[in-house]
Amino acid sequence: MQRDEIGTVNRRLAQPKPLIVEEVEPLSVERRAPGQWFVDFGRAAFGTLRLTVTSARACTATVRLGEKLAADGRIDRQPPGSVRYRAIPLELTAGTQTVQVVIPPDERNTRPGAIRMPDELFEVLPFRYAEIECAAPAATLDQVRQLAVFYPFDYEAASFECSDDRLNRVWDLCKYSIKATSFCGIYVDGDRERIPYEADAYINQLGHYGVDAEYEMARATLEHLLFHPTWPTDWALHFVPMAWADYQYSGRRDLLEAYYEELQIKALLELAREDGLISTETGLVTPELLRKLCMSDLKNPLRDLVDWPPGSFTEGGIGERDNYDMVPVKTVVNAFHAWNLKRLGQIAELLGKPEEAAAYRDQYARIVASLYRVCFDSRRGIFIDGEGSDHASLHANMIPAAFGLAPQGREATVLAFIKSRGMACSVYGAQYLLEACYRLGDPSHALELMTAEHDRGWLNMERAGSTVTLEAWDHKYKNNLDWNHAWGAAPANIIPRFIAGVQPARPGFDDVLIIPQLDRLEWFKAKVPTPHGPVVIQAETARNGERRLRLQTPVPARLRLDGLLPVTKQKKGDQAYQRLPAGCHELSAC
């Protein structure tokens, strides 16, 4: 399918809601001098400013909007990286008038590939603070509002609170980030480019599911990206997981049916060699394959990324790959490919294609065996970076582990290595690092990572002054970072999926799987959205050490209580489920 033919296909199934404009009242308004005001809206949002001013004469005002404060308490007029600041002149007439600030489009995020604001709305800028300077010093500021643009969002659909205030703050930051970055109606990579990227979109999708029972924005993003893809190999391998997640959460199979052929192409099946392993460096990336992938007009398509690379945007050129050895046949890329094969087998079975399902199961078994033979160091009990490499990175171990690919009996050595590396990955990689910890049975390490107070954690984003997740852990790790990137909001999905433990047991949550994990938390309360209504959970440790669970579920549930028990009390291998009908329940774990 040619890129110029996609207009009749793109977004034909998704039915996203129109964007809305919310009037946000300021948290505070301070008159700092005659004709000068400083406004704090409490949180950053994408929007513009509307103000009512009374002036005795016509004059020019200057409106300054920004995300970050400088040391002197004013808006930072030279913020680092892609943190936003704009100064906009505003012509005022004599008398009282209400005016809306018109933000000029920014060439940095309105280039080809960027998602434009709808014609019926207006150009936006992410900002928390506003400074208004009026040339007529006797002027008065009668009212000021932030006009914030969002995708329709039920902020009460989800909640989380626990005994650790650090995790509460991380949850609040990540939950709001999902709302704040919805301003385009399609998941984009923040304000720096406003371009949808597959890996960003997958993390954003899961986070959106964790904070609101809304599925159409994710579906619209998937349909857009199928025919407007980006260049990384790893990103192409997110399409099948995105489509599968849509089916699991929404219960709808129409995307799988409509785009089955495209999903097979996106899984990069044509790059496989005889043993099932794939590589983009063996001459199999042909013009015909790029045409089928809708990548013919991209510059340098299908380049392996792994994580943010060394280069000019990182201090010292270190990057976020944990010194990954970029050999042609990479463990990370092939773990993603194996994940795709497993899901394609399930999709083929669902769509009534048993022979194709069997073929995918065979391909999956072949690539897993090859991964163990070529990319797993049996002596050390860990994955190496790829064929011919002796180096082992965090990524080469956390990503296979997140997909359930740690060899049976070697989970402990893989986990020990993962823990030894800390947070040696970007905010994108953190998604898979946290999933790996839960998959390998170490919720304590995941909780430690999410509540870390050093500069490679979510609390550092808060400490920097942002109210939306950053594109990177800190400016020094990516010096062109922006302050409004939802791919940094992994806890928005990790907390409801693994701490509250709520996941679909059957597509569309007709049956819900609940495995709450209290770990070291004394208590938590959570509300997790589903299409049938929220699952509400309260877990706590009583004075006698007994762990109690109060549960309200709108659908039948499969419950496991072993996650409530301290590690020393858990029975190894005891994973029996209790089946509960819809309704309210009180249980205890001893």
359 shares a domain with 320: yes
Domain enclosing residue 62, as ranges = 20-150
29 shares a domain with 83: yes
Assign residue 321 the CATH number of its domain.
Answer: 1.50.10.10
Q: Establish if 506 belongs to a structural domain.
A: no
Q: Establish if 14 belongs to a structural domain.
A: no
432 shares a domain with 332: yes
174 shares a domain with 127: no
Q: Establish if 482 belongs to a structural domain.
A: yes
H helices within 93-183, ranges in order? 165-180
Assign residue 565 the CATH number of its domain.
Answer: 2.60.420.10
Interatomic CA distance for residues 243 and 343, integer angstroms: 10
Q: Establish if 42 belongs to a structural domain.
A: yes
219 shares a domain with 95: no
Which residue, of 429, 464, 499, is where some domain finishes?
Answer: 499
Q: DSSP assignment, residue 425?
A: S
Assign residue 113 the CATH number of its domain.
Answer: 2.60.120.260
Which residue, of 133, 150, 167, is where some domain finishes?
Answer: 150
275 shares a domain with 239: yes
Which tokens go with 409?
Answer: 């009996």
178 shares a domain with 118: no
pLDDT confidence bin for 314, thresholds 50/70/90: confident
- Going from the C-alpha of 166 to that of each of 177, 428, 546, the distances in angstroms are 17, 21, 25
- Is 426 strand, coil or helix? coil
Interatomic CA distance for residues 458 and 287, integer angstroms: 42
Q: Establish if 237 belongs to a structural domain.
A: yes
Interatomic CA distance for residues 418 and 430, integer angstroms: 12
Residue 230, pLDDT > 80, answer: yes
Least confident of 24-33, 272-281, 581-590: 581-590
**pLDDT tens per residue across span 543-573:** 888 999 999 999 999 999 988 887 666 655 4
530 shares a domain with 411: no
**pLDDT tens per residue across span 122-144:** 999 999 999 999 988 889 999 99
Residue 9, pLDDT > 60, answer: no
- Would you state the pLDDT for residue 311? 87
The distance in angstroms from the start CA to the end CA of the chain is 59
Phi and psi for 411 in degrees, rounded to 5? -60, -35
Q: Establish if 559 belongs to a structural domain.
A: yes
Which residue, of 129, 150, 171, is where some domain finishes?
Answer: 150
Residue 88, pLDDT > 80, answer: yes
Residue 583, pLDDT > 90, answer: yes
Beta bridge partners of 149: 21
Residues 277, 278, 279, 284: is their CA dihedral positive or negative?
positive
- Would you state the pLDDT for residue 316? 77
Phi and psi for 354 in degrees, rounded to 5? -65, -35
366 shares a domain with 316: yes
- Would you state the pLDDT for residue 136? 87
- Would you state the pLDDT for residue 137? 83
Q: Establish if 573 belongs to a structural domain.
A: yes
Burial label for 104, CB within 10 Å (0-12, 13-18, 19+), is exposed
- Mean pLDDT (whole number) for 89-114: 93
**pLDDT tens per residue across span 517-529:** 999 999 999 999 9
Total count of residues recorded for the chain: 590
Q: Establish if 101 belongs to a structural domain.
A: yes
How many domains, the chain?
Answer: 3
Cβ neighbours for 231, distance < 8 A, ≥ 6 positions apart: 295, 298, 299, 300, 301, 302, 303
298 shares a domain with 220: yes
- Mean pLDDT (whole number) for 425-448: 98
128 shares a domain with 48: yes
* Pair 109, 192: CB distance under 8 Å: yes
208 shares a domain with 128: no
- Mean pLDDT (whole number) for 390-417: 98
